[in-house]
Amino acid sequence: MNQLLKTLTYNEDGLIPAIAQQHDTGEVLMLAWMNAASIEETLQTGQVCYYSRSRQTLWRKGETSGQVQKLIDFRIDCDSDSLLLLVDQTGVACHTGRRSCFYTAIRDGEPTEIAAPLISSEDLYGHNHS
């Protein structure tokens, strides 16, 4: 484990980008960041843990919303500077209530929403977690 964590190339903030992909459908759900501690926790627990750049702390995906990601496979790219996590996503990955964060596409040169929320933010996070 320690050997693995050392072979990865982190940026100047100690982070590495991680793509989360639904393992069976192939849908790309989100891109987030991990540090060595979050990678270690993810591999040990089998539940995906990122590093939140805005909150500057470990981000146990789904801890508040319940929309957890079970790790199915952990992959590393040829330069060891990005990760691909095959996951089983409970519910939605996006904080907007959409399955994927990539719900905006360019249509006729303009950003256009191509997916609607499946659940409201209120239902996702509740009144106690606003």
Interface with its own copies (CB under 8 A) = 1, 4, 7, 17, 19, 21, 25-28, 30-31, 43, 73-79, 82, 84, 94-96, 98, 101-106, 109-111, 114
The long-range contacts involving 69-74, CB below 8 angstroms and separated by at least 24 positions, are 69/20, 69/29, 69/93, 70/46, 71/42, 71/43, 71/46, 71/47, 72/23, 73/23, 74/42, 74/43
- Min dist CB 90 to its own copies, Å, is 18
| Cβ 127 to its own copies shortest distance, Å | 22
Q: What is the signed CA dihedral for 97, 46, 42, 128, rounded to 10 degrees?
A: 40
Greatest distance between any 2 Cα atoms in the chain: 48
Pairing of strands 83-89, 16-22: parallel
Output the smallest distance, CB 38 to its own copies, in A.
15
Closest to its own copies by CB, 18 or 60: 18
Nearest residue (CB) to its own copies, 13 versus 63: 13
Nearer to its own copies, 7 or 130 (CB): 7
Q: State the nearest-atom distance from the C-beta of 71 to its own copies, in Å.
A: 10
| CA proximity to 14, closest of 58, 48, 60 | 58
Nearer Cβ to its own copies, position 58 or 103?
Answer: 103
